[in-house]
Amino acid sequence: MSDIHNDMEAQMEHIRHSRDVVHRHSPGVGKILDLAVNYVYDAEKANREGREVVWTVGLSECPLFYACGAVPLAFTELGRLGSAQAMSVAEGLFQIPRETCSMVKIIIGEYFLRRDATVKRLYYRSGSCEPFNIAFELIKKYGFDTRVTDTGFKPDDISQERYDNLTEYYKRQVRDTALWISGRPLDEERLSVEMKRYNRAIRKARTIMNLRRRHATYIKSLPAMFVLLGSSHFYGKPEEYEDALDLIIEEMSALREGEYDDEVVRLVWTGARGQEFGVYEAIDDAGGGVLGWCIPNTFEAGFDESKPPLDAFVEFQIGGKNSGTTSQACLVVENQIKKSDAVGIIMYGYVGCSFGSIDVELKREYFRKRNIPSISIDGTFQVGPPTGQLVTRVRAFVEMLS
Amino acid sequence: MSVSKHVLENIREDLFEDMFDHGPTVGLDIGSRATKGVLLADGAATAALEASGVSNRETADSVLQRLLDAANLKRTDLACLVSTGYGRITLRFDDIPSRILTEISCHAMGAHILNPATRTVIDIGGQDSKAIRVEPDSGKVVEFIMNDKCAAGTGRFLEKVAQLLEIELDELGNCALRSSHPAEISSQCVVFAESEVISLKAGGVSREDIAAGIHLATARRIRSLMRKIGLEPTVLFTGGTANNPGMREALEEVLEVKMGDSSLDATYAGALGAAFYAGRFARERQLSYGNYI
């Protein structure tokens, strides 16, 4: 375990520095970062003490887990906690090709390294990331109880009959997943309560993002990402997470006009969330600020509370507007650019993600035609500081726009 | 290890308006192979260059001291110092107002000062290469692209080949100019190119032809970068390889454009740009000690 802790220090240092130095002025941000730091450890501890905990994608499927009495533990957190050995385990033991996405490799490698100490149940709702399906098949051999379900995206011109068939299929999957999680049939009433909680949390997150646009430097880019990151899984502690959001809203609502309103180069971040926290710091240090977000944690739309819970849950899953086609995603980015008065876009993907790299090029072309500058970053999911060249490119981009 | 003094000629007066009123400024460009420094004072530029040692801090201090000695100044006389280059983040000055900027911004501005007609900068450094489009009125970056994923198209690539050909790196460019039939190097990867060079040597291809082939392969790599941002004359060639005549000729041949002239050794473009920005920060009083902004 000692190696694991040494490797994670670089990532943790960024969070601690952000909490204890950069955001000393904000108890609310401190609470969010505390939740982030303790999330995996507390969830693993709860599991050892008998609580049902399941590794999940950590997105809009989370209300289902809470409704089934389980804590969703987002496996994307493993990138932050992963050890340097994870990559070599993935390439060596599992023979995953070197060219494969670093996120997939780090996660499967990390599960192997933690196999005797971590939660052994794993759920994956397969979105656009096909290699995870294979990786999670491979990890089953080491005692992981793995469940993978499909996700499709609703085409714009779908017929009603086809749409009905699609939703029925996904409803069956949701019911089966509820049985898998808890051994009991889905309690739709409870799902409704959790979906309302989800909606409430993302409304609060949205309020914070709107307040940031007027007080851009009160919360810097890294903790803003952590606010959004928790908006689905709540870091396993829904009440504490909501309390932290309330506190931030209270703090920011009390700010005077012009306070923490330093001039920054306003940017939109799109793509993966990135585990190289030094990139976020480089943006802020160079005088930039990420004020618009198009990441998998969508905060602009929630579940439709006027519909029966399962219908609304499925509709939200298959109507995801952040993912899907590139042209659809570009509209989301454009919306964020407008809302945040952004002058540039940071497009973040992981090394080895062939889907992502093509998607980024299409997006860059789309925005080049509209004279909106963008930069694409190939990040890694591995722990440690970003490369000097990566930081140089990010800083130079901010300098170019300043 | 050289120090030289140059009167800045043909510079845009409006760009340097009251630039020297706030005191001397220094730009330090800490590259992977060499550390370059430029001191701007009283309309003149003093330039110094030293091989980057193990400690960026020591090399930077040494270059700074040479500049100050040549200009008969003390550290406390400086109005501002700007560090750039890959080693910039390791520097910290508690006694000099200082800032950091990326080499991309600094090379663009430096190139603009060295040749105000510059629209495009090609910077081939020790560990990466960059193509930068420059705003003609201000010297600011309009767009840039970096080759930072592998050593192909960088000074490191040329260095490796020089070793394989058993000649000094400084001689590689002149060696290439003596070629009559440049060898065809198909691989862009340093590792594969190494095998290719060994095969060519074994096949009796001359050192000159291999050197020319390598320069052309590097230039083709740069051409790929240029396709992303477009090439608009005047093009200024900067960075550690700017003084390599073989590289210059290969670039001109592959890109079908004549490289622009520079009023000072273009190796110093980054440091000059940094020194210029230092003057601007001093004028706008955007200064800090110790911790960089």
B128/A contact by beta carbon, under 8 A: yes
* Nearest chain B alpha carbon to A281: B293
pLDDT tens, position by position, B183-196: 988 766 666 777 88
Hey, what are B11's tokens? 């510079």
- Smallest Cβ–Cβ distance between A399 and the set B86, B105, B142 belongs to B105
**What's the pLDDT tens digit per position in A294-342?**
988 888 889 999 999 999 999 888 876 555 677 788 988 999 999 999 9
Q: What is the ipTM of this complex?
A: 0.76
Closest by Cβ to A396, choosing from B89, B102, B292: B102
Rg of chain B on CA atoms, in Å:
19
Q: Does A378 touch chain B (CB under 8 A)?
A: yes
From first to last of its 402 residues, chain A has per-residue pLDDT tens of 333 334 445 677 888 889 999 999 999 999 999 999 899 999 999 999 999 999 998 888 999 999 999 999 998 888 777 677 888 898 889 988 877 888 888 889 999 999 998 999 999 987 667 788 888 989 999 999 999 987 766 777 788 898 888 899 999 999 999 999 999 999 999 999 999 999 999 999 999 999 999 999 999 999 999 999 999 999 999 999 999 999 999 999 999 998 998 889 999 999 888 777 888 988 998 899 999 999 888 888 899 999 999 999 998 888 765 556 777 889 889 999 999 999 999 998 887 787 777 888 889 899 999 999 999 888 777 666 566 778 888 999 999 998
Q: Do A392 and B140 touch (CB under 8 A)?
A: no
Instruction: Please tell me what DSSP assigns to residue A154.
Output: -
**What does the alpha-carbon distance between residue A210 and residue A208 come to, in Å, rounded to a whole number?**
5
If phi > 0 it is left, if psi is from -120 to 50 it is alpha, else beta; for residue B69 that is: alpha
Across the interface, do A400 and B141 touch by the CB < 8 Å criterion? yes
Residue from the list B89, B144, B293 with its beta carbon closest to the beta carbon of A396: B144
% of chain A surpassing 90 pLDDT: 57
With tokens 């963008």, the residue in question is A374
Tell me if chain A has a CB within 8 Å of the CB of B32.
Answer: no
- Chain B, nearest residue to A283 by Cα: B293
Contact A140, A167 (CB under 8 A): no
DSSP bridge partners of B130: B123, B146
A338–chain B nearest CA distance, Å: 22
Is B102 in contact with A387 (Cβ distance < 8 A)? no
Write the DSSP string, B81-137. Answer: EEEESTTGGG---SSS-EEE--HHHHHHHHHHHH-TT--EEEEE-SS-EEEEEE-TT
B16: CB partners within 8 A, 6+ apart: B8, B43, B279
In this complex, do A399 and B104 lie within 8 Å of one another by their Cβ atoms?
A: yes
B197-235 exposure pattern, b = at least 16 Cβ within 10 A, e = fewer: beebbeeebbbbbbbbbbbbbbbbbbbebbeebebeebb
Q: How close, in Å, is residue A369 to chain B by CA atoms?
A: 13
Which among A223, A221, A209, A241 is positioned nearest to A72, based on CA atoms?
Answer: A241
pTM value > 0.95: no
Provide the edge-to-edge strand list for the sheet that holds A344-350: A288-294, A265-271, A344-350, A374-379
Q: Do B101 and A387 touch (CB under 8 A)?
A: no
